[in-house]
Amino acid sequence: MDIVERVLKGDNLALSRVISMVEGESNGKVSEIMKLINPHIGKAYRIGVTGPPGAGKSTIVDKLVVVMRREGLKVGVIAVDPSSPFTGGALLGDRIRMQQHYLDEGVFIRSMATRGSMGGLPQTASSVIKVLDASGKDIILIETVGVGQCELDIMKNTDTVLVVLSPESGDTIQTMKAGLYEIADIFVINKADRPGANNLIVDIQAMLHLRGEPGSWDIPIVATEAVNNVGIEELYHQIQRHRQALDGSGELLKRRQQQRREEFMKTSERKIIKRLLRSVEQDGQLSRYIGKVIDKVEKGEIDPYSAADEVLKSMNL
């Protein structure tokens, strides 16, 4: 495909078009695109930025891009926004994000809608990350929507996870206990000039101490005032340290192997469901039969598990 060749050469216009095709899951094209770019992926380092809404994730990303560009790195940014209830598209959009970078050809920014995903990332995010990787980006920053406790998909798609918190994040410790705490490679306490910041740092240090035996990576806590560009250089230094630690221990290779395994399982699951639904749509007799089974389930005449087994057995699955 000519458009994929243009992406591999770093053409941002072609990159935007291919990402749209991947997001739209264009019939027959996505598989071909992913096959063509697969030999060219694996060079970009992926950084996830997650945490509660209002913690300043977008500002953190914006300031990190500036530091990375000073080093001459090509940067891709995926900013995940809430889905519009009317169009399914991103509500905020990349038009209002990181405006200072739009004239910089070394930075590519893309907004993506969650489209109902409960893991903080849309289903197509992993494919979009790969397309950015193949286009020659050195660093890919993925900022999640900030839904709170269930944003664990970011861990399955990135190498370093930043959990951004702020003193006014609410019951932050409870949020961390529910999931964010376990996925952090680096904690970022943003708006650190505000009351309660020091107490939050102490609370996180105490929780880290309660984890028991330390692993190969001692999770740092970085205080920032992103809007004033305070602490960003230190944060980037810690990201570099984490990358070196992953490389040195072989953990980066293990993480990416696990990510490929997860992607295979998810892709297979989606394809099986699509084929199953297509079979039901095309087979009127099967469709009527499933309708009767659903009716029985609704009436309580059969439990959902037995009903599912019955349907799959009728389809020789």
Distance between CA atoms of 61 and 201, rounded to whole angstroms?
21
Which value, in Å, is the radius of gyration of the alpha carbons in the chain? 22
Question: H or E segment at 108?
Answer: strand 107-113
By CB neighbour count within 10 A (0-12 exposed, 13-18 middle, 19+ buried), where does 28 fall? Answer: exposed
| pTM score, whole prediction | 0.83
Question: H or E segment at 165?
Answer: strand 160-165
What is the tens place of the pLDDT at every residue in 182-203?
788 999 999 999 998 998 898 8
Q: 9 vs 43, 109, 136, 292, CA distance in Å?
A: 15, 18, 8, 54
Distance between CA atoms of 25 and 35, rounded to whole angstroms?
14
230 φ, ψ (degrees, to nearest 5): -100, 130
What is the tens place of the pLDDT at every residue in 145-183?
765 544 567 888 899 999 999 987 654 555 555 566 778
Distance between CA atoms of 146 and 140, rounded to whole angstroms?
18
Please report which confidence band the pLDDT of residue 95 belongs to, taking 50, 70 and 90 as the band edges. very low
